[in-house]
A and B are shown apart, each in its own frame.
Chain A
Amino acid sequence: MQMIKVENVVTAFGNRIIHDGLNFTIKKGEIYGLLGPSGCGKTTLLREMVMLQKIRSGKIKILGKDVANIRRKDAQNLRRQWGVLFQFGALFSSLTLAENIALPLVEYTRLSKKMIDEIVAFKLSIVGLKQSDAYLYPSEISGGMRKKAGLARALAMDPKLLFLDEPTSGLDPISAREFDALILKLRAMLGLTVVMVTHDLSSIYDTLDRVAIIDNKKIAYEGTLDDIASVKSEFVQTFFREKL
């Protein structure tokens, strides 16, 4: 089953073309990586998928819906089915961690207060935060903790689709590996589909099923990591040198 289909996507800021005809599909249950050098538009592509940015031409279909041409109701529906982790967590600074995580639950479900408290505690625990952290404000915690809390918020509604923007950057190596393990575990249990932008080599090899490498406005390579050595791209050759 196709979760995401990207067809001939062209993105441009003014005259500057970022993507020139990207094509790939992401299947259900896959952990898919968007790789490429800085400034190649990985995060932009991710933002386009979650309807934060418009594409110039082409099509992005998520769960069968064309996001460029979507009815409000369908869009809201879609938004409930995905979770997004931003690069710096993007927690709401006026709310505590617990309130941040509880927000979608409070707004979209009729769960009891007690149940929500328990869900919050569970989500905090799986991302590796302590229960006592729940009552801190985002300004009182470190960048790594913000990221974990951001993931807990993204997971609050048990989404089917998870978008992660550099999930392990800024985390210490132990937390980063735990993060990878958690993603794999969640995928195995809940059948999550994960799309992530990452630069973390161990994360790439440990978690990703398939990757799309964006270089020079095009997809330089798409597929599993096994055949990556054959790619004639300076980025790929340098980036994967150690592992090739």
Chain B
Amino acid sequence: MKKVFSIECSDVNLLLKFEGKVNLYEVPKYEKKLAKVQTNSIKNITIDLSNVVEIDTTVAIFIYNIQKKFASKKVNLVCYDEKLLSTLELVQENMLHYNENVKPKKLSFLQKIGKIFYDYYDGLTAFISFFGQLFASNLRYLTSFKNIRYKEIAFEINESAIKALPIVALTSFLIGLVIAYQSAYQLKIYGANIYIVDMLGISIFRELAPVITAIVIAGRSGSAFASQIGAMKITQELDAMKTMGFEPFAFLVLPRIIALIIMMPILIFVADIMAMIGGMIVANVDLSISPELFIERFSQVVAAKHFFVGIVKGPFFAFLIASIGIYRGLMVKDDTQSIGFNTTKSVVEAIFAVIVCDAIFSIAFTNLGI
């Protein structure tokens, strides 16, 4: 059946006639059509629905709006269909309390700034209290060997460290390759080819391997911690654990932190080896330093302390990455958006924390003369 909305206007009378099955797709056209009509001089309005077969609630709202708009004038409704009338009535009932200006007030500039700072302050206190809780549960659970959850720790070692080995190895191999390749060119100019060994040994062992490993692990395992724990929070698994008397810190938090603390030095060790292999290949190809010569020079000039400086950083980085990841996981609120938000935050914050920590170590070691 054809859908019609006709407007007939004669000095004081306005006739709005609907026909057929009208639905919400028609309303925008009708609205425009009606807006064009000059209504100032009109006194009588007739809305004719006698030929209408069907309307939906949007059309009913449209009709209700017309009635409301011309409330000061005389509005006639011509409609014989019970169903249509009851739809109109339903709309009327429900729109009675409609108020256009109920939208929440926008915050002023000052309020916004205050809110941002308060949120930061809130986040800071939450982070401090997280560390407090972590410390307290450490004290409680690490007093006896019986309390340590070896199975979970072993599982986490496999999940977040062993499975990360290939990517850590590949990344550090490439870093070693690139660093050697870039410096080979410079060293060649001065004929200082052999110093590539000193340079690589010190830079990789002290700084590059630990930091690169930490960044890869933060991106890979830290984010996994955040999203796993966040998802568990949304599905109320954490609440379930608490009500059953299982401390989430003992079951979820400590095993992850301990696992990473154990494995980080090992990962850094692997990164050291792979990066040196990368450097050795470039030295051989570009600077014609044979692997034998490379290793001989290596044992002469690179002291063991450089290696240990890098390894010692491992547990600290691991602690930062794991605790920030878990903290972010626990911060997840009851909606899916916040998992993504907190996972992103966990990676950014973990990498930042690692670099700050590395800077502190750098200064400390240098001043100590190590």
A and B are interacting partners = yes
Judge whether A36 is part of the interface by a CB distance below 8 angstroms. no
- B124-138 interface code vs A (CB 8 A; 1 in, 0 out): 000000000000000
B94 touches A125 (CB 8 A): yes
Q: Which residue of A lies closest to B58 (CB)?
A: A119
Contact: A158 with B56, CB < 8 Å?
Answer: yes
* Beta-carbon nearest neighbor of A112 in chain B: B31
| Contacting pair A93 B336 (CB below 8 A) | yes
Find residues 89-130 in chain B having any chain A CB closer than 8 Å to their own CB.
90-91, 94-95, 97-100, 102-104
| Smallest beta-carbon distance A120→chain B, Å | 10
Determine if B333 and A109 form an interchain contact, defined as CB atoms under 8 angstroms apart: no
A94 at interface, CB cutoff 8 A: yes
Measured between alpha carbons, how far is A115 from B95 in the docked complex, in Å?
12
Prevailing SS type, chain B contact patch: helix
A51 within 8 A of B: no
* A119:B90 contact, CB within 8 angstroms: no
Complex contacts, B58 vs chain A, CB 8 Å: 111, 115, 119, 158
Output the nearest chain A residue to B94 by Cβ-Cβ distance.
A125
Interface size class of B (residues with CB under 8 A): 20 to 34
Query: Would you call A138 an interface residue if the criterion is a C-beta within 8 Å of the partner chain's C-beta atoms?
Result: yes
Residues of A near B299 (CB, < 8 A) are none
- Specify which of A131, A132, A138, A190 is in contact with B57 (CB 8 Å cutoff): A190
Q: Within 8 Å CB of A93, what residues of B?
A: 335-337
Contacts of B47 in A (CB 8 A): none
With A122-B94, A126-B94 as given contacts, are A111 and B27 in contact (CB-CB < 8 Å)?
Answer: yes
Docked CA distance A138–B335 (Å): 8
B28 touches A122 (CB 8 A): no
Whether A74 is near chain B, meaning CB under 8 Å from some CB there, is no
Q: Is A139 interfacial (CB 8 A cutoff)? A: yes
Cα distance, A111 to B30, chains bound together (Å): 10
CB of B28 within 8 A of CB of A190, answer: no
A157 to B24 CA separation, bound complex (whole angstroms): 8
Residues from chain A with a CB closer than 8 A to the CB of B54 are 191
CB < 8 Å A-B pair total:
82
A174 located at the interface, meaning its Cβ lies under 8 Å from any Cβ of chain B in the complex: no
- B83 interface neighbour in A117, A121, A188, Cβ under 8 Å: A188
A86 contacts B by Cβ under 8 Å: no
Bound complex: CA A97 to CA B24 (Å): 21
What's the Cα separation between A94 and B340 when bound, in Å? 12
Given known contacts A131-B99, A158-B23, A189-B83, A119 and B337 CB-to-CB distance under 8 angstroms: no
Q: Which of B61, B91, B98, B337 contacts A94 (CB 8 A)?
A: B337
Contact indicator A135/B336 (Cβ below 8 Å): no
Contact in complex: B31, A119 (CB < 8 Å): no
Cα(A138)–Cα(B58), bound, Å: 25
Contact A132 B102 (CB under 8 A): yes
A47 to chain B, nearest CB (A): 20
Given contacts A94-B337, A158-B56, contact A119 B61 (CB under 8 A): yes
In the bound complex, residues from chain A placing their C-beta under 8 Å from that of B56 are 158, 190
Query: Do B86 and A135 touch across chains, with their CB atoms under 8 A apart?
Result: no
- List A124-175 residues whose CB lies under 8 Å from chain B: 125-126, 131-132, 134-135, 137-139, 155, 157-158
Complex CA gap A84/B91 in Å reads: 22
**Is there an interface contact between A121 and B335, defined as CB atoms closer than 8 Å?**
no
Residues of chain A contacted by B87 (CB below 8 angstroms): 189-190
Report which residue of A125, A137, A185 has the largest number of chain B beta carbons within 10 angstroms of its beta carbon.
A125
* Residues in A whose Cβ lies below 8 Å from that of B158: none
Q: How far is the CA of A123 from the CA of B57 in the complex (A)?
A: 9
Nearest chain-B residue to A108 (Cβ)? B25
Does A118 sit at the interface, judged by CB under 8 A?
Answer: yes
Please determine whether A109 and B24 come into contact, CB atoms closer than 8 angstroms: yes
Closest chain B residue to A159 by CB distance?
Answer: B56
Known: A93-B335, A111-B28. A122 touches B104 (CB 8 A): no
Return 18 A-B CB contacts under 8 Å, by A number. A93-B337, A94-B337, A111-B24, A111-B28, A112-B28, A115-B27, A115-B61, A118-B95, A122-B57, A122-B61, A125-B94, A125-B95, A137-B335, A139-B335, A157-B24, A158-B23, A158-B56, A190-B57
- A-side residues, CB < 8 A to B, are 93-94, 105, 109-112, 115, 117-119, 121-123, 125-126, 131-132, 134-135, 137-139, 155, 157-158, 185, 188-191
Instruction: For the complex of A and B, list the 6 residue pairs with the smallest distance between their C-beta atoms, beginning with the closest.
Output: A158-B56, A139-B335, A93-B335, A125-B94, A110-B28, A139-B334
Other than the given A123-B57, A125-B94, A132-B102, 6 more pairs (CB < 8 A) read A111-B28, A122-B61, A135-B103, A158-B56, A190-B56, A190-B57
Which residues of B come within 8 Å of A, CB atoms? 23-25, 27-28, 31, 54, 56-58, 61-62, 65, 83, 86-87, 90-91, 94-95, 97-100, 102-104, 333-338
